[in-house]
Chains A and B, each alone.
Chain A
């Protein structure tokens, strides 16, 4: 009796072409300016500041990735370490055991991670896990991978992998002289592409559908949106990008162990910048990472050479951790939608 009728979903509501264009133009100009500013950093910074910049960029890529699935897609993941770890370990294993270039590993890791993530998300959604149950399930998977890696000989169990140090620079093997600006530029390009992708994704059919599903699944489904499909697309994109960050992590730090790859701290590092910056916004995760990444470094620097009125704090150990916590709490209380989200709201009033 029933014949499947394909209802073509309504196109996203963007009537005024000028409106659309100015929005896009604004985003792209912002991206371009941001890119140029950050790209100039390695030329002005000392080496230690550069390590902080790289760490911040890795956070930012993870946060942007997390935001695709959890911010726009509304599927709160507390286990992004699983996908970061897949990337870190794929890169490490292929490089150390097979001599494969990290560039190739990035592609492979992205595919593996997207498949695994899609499978996990499919199972969770198929059995109607939502909200905190979904988050717990993702967390459990990350823990499961941690245990797996710790007990598999092929992944060196608990020993982890060391990236062999090459005698000379090599673009193909993604290894340069220490302090080379390339170490900042590569994750910066990855981040820029990720943000660019996010900009177009949110405007695309898939992005609009997934946000509609996030806001009201029943309504979206009743309009004929294949909610499962569009959610899985968001998950796949998110996991693939997270894995790329993982591959780069291993390359930059020359060592990865189970804790560094799959530890629950990694999942938190993906979430915090996005939450601080603003969930479900394009720039939130980037701004969040830019604030959180260098924060404890900046506080420590201040404490090492304090201005006159803070003289008494000099050499206090652990104050950075305390200050970090206070700032986090303050942001969550006073900027409930995140730094970017709240500011944008005030402006638009």
Chain B
């Protein structure tokens, strides 16, 4: 059986001949930033956009003269593909660190981010989370993870507050709400926070309806169920495909509601939503973190992005862009490319003029959460996304009630 032994050894050796050993960070050549996103698999669309957003940021910073406090050293983006799987995200993060990345950005999905955050923590490499909503990621007491966007529970809370503010502003009573959300930690945590805050805001009944995260191809049943309690508003939390199905089902069933209101909804403020949803999208509201359409800098970045990559730049990609800027600011402030110094510097950054509609500079608290992260409310108007609330970010006035509920 010598042959067998030979085969086995060969297989083992081939299987192990993955990649070289670590190079570590050196003080010459470009400073590497690792990006981990799902660039293949079901989420490849948004993952690819995010990777492009980060690449654009690196190119812009390099074109503007690199990191000035480090004699204009250039940045280099090294990209990894999580395939949407937590284990793969972990080994990709590890690969990028071995490759000499001094900082990471990523990853869009909460469960993958949990894994990557633990890698970053144990490798002592700062991770700037561009998109990942779960509260729990930062609840571990990790020192090396930072997040720019609001977490799930604050979005649920702020979503309820904004709804109450809309009620006050328009004089339209909102007492009964039916809440449709995707199964899983993301939907659960946003909903739980909303429910708690809705009680404080005097919304008398909140009915919860969940739908599966996979093989969800028709929302009619769930929307019909949501209509049973005769709600004033239907609230929805989920991703793009399911959000689109819900909007269509609401239109098909011709429900008598004052409006459809997304919270942390992946569909309702996406620039392709009005076109995909057609009439079903008209007047749909969405409370979410969002790029600031009132900012000239954002408009310029989005224009160049679309020219270069041929697709509109969504909020997720803008967050990846911003994440690279945060790291660059850290490198600049700390005047060092050492990951430890960089972590220290990032924890103390203050970035004015954020690219997202936040009510203040990007600053991280002791858990690594951006203190000033907020949601704003958008609405589909005339086939485009308009910002309608609060006043300081508004590009258009809110229209409420909308649709057939008038």
Contact = CB atoms under 8 A, between A and B. Distances in A.
Nearest to A259: B111
Contact of B1 (A26, A53, A178, A297): A26
A51 B91 contact: yes
Given A30-B4, A47-B22, A291-B11, A317 B185 contact: no
Interface of B: 1, 3-5, 7-9, 11-22, 39-41, 44, 48, 81, 83, 85-87, 90-91, 94-95, 97-98, 111, 114-115, 118-119, 121-123, 134, 136, 140, 183-186, 188-189
Given A294-B15, A317-B48, A178 B123 contact: yes
Interface in A255-272: 255, 257, 259-260, 265
Contacts of A297: 18-19, 91
Contacts of A56: 15
Instruction: Tell me the interface secondary structure of chain B in the complex.
Output: helix
A215 interface: no
Contacts, number: 152
21 contacts: A26-B4, A46-B18, A46-B20, A48-B91, A51-B95, A55-B87, A158-B186, A158-B188, A163-B118, A164-B140, A178-B123, A253-B90, A253-B115, A255-B86, A257-B185, A259-B86, A290-B12, A294-B14, A300-B81, A321-B83, A347-B3
Interface residues of A, number: 55
Contacts of A257: 86, 111, 114, 185
B39 A160 contact: no
Contacts of B98: 46-48
A41 interface: yes
Interface centre among B15, B81, B114, by most chain A C-beta atoms within 10 angstroms, is B15
B91 A254 contact: no
A300 B18 CA distance: 10
Contacts of B140: 162, 164-165
A108 to B, nearest CB: 24
Contacts of B20: 46
B3 A178 contact: no
Contacts of B17: 298
Nearest to B135: A159
A259 B121 CA distance: 23
A301 interface: yes
B39 A34 contact: no
Contacts of A51: 90-91, 94-95
Contacts of A34: 8-9, 12
A313 interface: no
B111 A255 contact: yes
Interface string A237-258: 0000000000000000111010
Interface in A118-159: 150, 157-159
Contacts of B123: 178
Contacts of A162: 114, 118, 136, 140
A33 B8 contact: yes
A318 B86 contact: no
A19 interface: no
A294 B122 contact: no
Contacts of B39: 317-318
Nearest to A35: B12
Contacts of A335: none
A260 B5 CA distance: 34
Given A48-B19, A253-B115, A254-B118, A160 B91 contact: no
A159 B134 contact: yes
B111 A30 contact: no
B19 A301 contact: yes
A165 to B, nearest CB: 6
Nearest to B213: A259
Interface in A43-100: 44-53, 55-56
Nearest to B47: A317
A38 B12 CA distance: 7
Given A26-B1, A178-B122, A298-B18, A48 B95 contact: yes
